[in-house]
Amino acid sequence: MEKQTTFFSGLFIMLSIVFGAFGAHALKEILEPAQLQTFEVGVRYQGFLSMGVLLLALNMDRFSFEIKRILWAMLIGMILFCFSIYGLVLGRHFIDPKAFGFLGPITPIGGAISIISWCLFLFRLLKYGQR
């Protein structure tokens, strides 16, 4: 088990629950349906990606290859993807529609990092296997 990634993945799972409740209750009447749906995409992916990292971190001793850096890449990709979505939705609604426009390009970068890190994990799993 890798303590840091286990802790952070658990933290982000908890935050996805908090953000989901926040979206369902506090933001439901404030945001437009399309904005709320976009916010919920961030929450959903945060939960899925964090759960995947948690499962791998808890079982990292089962792999015959090093996955610590892959786990961190997975977390970084999730943070960039999901939190840029939150910033785009909330920043544009509550602060200034143009102030958070810089986050737009960050979302696909985070998504690409997530996809690449999962592909790398699967490639290494096929190549090196488990213990």
For residue range 89-105, what is the model confidence (pLDDT) as tens digits? 998 877 877 778 889 99
- Whole-model pTM: value is 0.92
What pLDDT is attached to residue 93?
78
Q: Is 47 exposed, middle or buried (0-12, 13-18, 19+ CB in 10 A)?
A: buried
- What confidence category does residue 129 fall into, taking pLDDT thresholds of 50, 70 and 90? confident
What pLDDT is attached to residue 95?
81
Indicate the residue type of 55: L
